[in-house]
Amino acid sequence: MNCPHCQTANPGEAKFCMNCGNSL
């Protein structure tokens, strides 16, 4: 899943972005 804030690709089950911490 790509973060809507910073566009970082995160694992599908992630609840928060690994890069910026934004809620996914």
How confident is the model over 1-24, as pLDDT tens digits?
999 999 999 999 999 999 999 999
pLDDT at residue 16 in the model: 98
SS3 content of the chain, % helix, strand, coil (to 5): 0, 15, 85
pLDDT at residue 22 in the model: 98
pLDDT at residue 20 in the model: 98
pLDDT at residue 12 in the model: 96
pLDDT at residue 18 in the model: 98
Answer whether 0.75 is exceeded by the pTM.
no
